Structure 1
Amino acid sequence: MTDTHIDREALSVLREVMEDGYPELLDTFLIDSESRLDQLQKTADAKVLAELAHSFKGSASNMGAVRLATLCQALESDAKDKSPAEIVALVADISSEFADVRPVYEDERQHALTH
């Protein structure tokens, strides 16, 4: 996976700063992301979508998921101006991007637990 998806340097810094808490941080990110995705897929309310996208963007950004954060930013900024079909497409993009990066975070977690 290219660095357009994940900022490896950000992960490296998190690994150093969090030390023993790093696997738990990864767990929390994965669980929260699943939950936010589920909520994004179930709501049609632009205000709720923007709020969800904002919190998802923040955690994705903190975790170095660069493209995921960018997609969430787009949804947060444009939710009120998009058609339902456009929102569905953007949520699908967010979901697809999370599916792409998720294994990286799972591998990080495994690695952190075994070292």
Structure 2
Amino acid sequence: MEEERCARVVPPAERTRDQVELPPPALDNRLTVHPLWPEINRISTEQIQAAFEEVGGGIGWQLFAEEGDMRMYRREMEVDGMVMDPLKAMHKVRGVSAREMCHYFFNPRYRYEWE
């Protein structure tokens, strides 16, 4: 943990969630010359935008499940003539960092216990 703390670069100003910084594509040319790069970049950008979309207002997200601090939303939309129902879940986990949450959620050793 000490090594991680020392390796982190503290940004000069506090960022809000709307100020996500992505590395410039020219940072590593091997990424941008890969044949799937345009599709990966497009899908990643769409997913980041969807994650930061607000759920209220005229966007169309409808609450369909709520349990404690977890809320699940869906939205009906049509893409290229096909009806799609994207889902969005929001949950608060107190007392742990986002990094810890991801580590334990995606590590198979712990994930199977959660599921």
**TM-score exceeds 0.5:** no
User: Please, what TM-score do these two structures have when normalized by structure 2?
Assistant: 0.26
Instruction: Name the structure with the higher strand share.
Output: 2
Return the structure number with greater relative CO, CA threshold 8 A, min gap 6. 1
TM-score (norm 1): 0.26
User: Larger C-alpha radius of gyration, 1 or 2?
Assistant: 2
Greater helix share, structure number? 1
